[in-house]
Amino acid sequence: MKAGDRVRITYRGRSVVGKVILASANGASLALEFEAFLGGYAGMIPVMRDGDGIYRDLIASEPVQLDLVQ
């Protein structure tokens, strides 16, 4: 994933559409922006991909599913 990509963010059973606003060169660390409250996050969630390829939020280390949106 790269900055500017639109994504469906699913966290703790809730999904919202957002955008990648920051991305590391290899796409392992992302900052995601959205207009909602999502599992304790308000408008932004930082995530990092673990060794198994699963994105996790940086506070609770819970899985965050990301799907590209056209």
At 8-50, the pLDDT tens digits run 999 999 999 999 999 999 999 999 999 999 999 999 999 999 9
- Asked whether residue 44 is assigned to any structural domain, the reply reads yes
Q: Tell me what the mean pLDDT of segment 49-69 comes to.
A: 97
In a domain, 61, yes or no: yes
Q: What is the pLDDT of residue 70?
A: 85
**What is the residue range of 62's domain?**
6-68
Q: Which residues contact 34 (CB under 8 A, 6 or more apart)?
A: 9, 16, 17, 18, 19, 43, 44, 45
In a domain, 38, yes or no: yes
In a domain, 64, yes or no: yes
45 within domain boundaries: yes
pTM: 0.93
Query: Structural domain tally of the chain?
Result: 1
- Residue 1 within a domain: no
Identify the pLDDT of residue 19: 98
Domain contains 17: yes
For residue 15, tell me if it sits in a domain.
Answer: yes
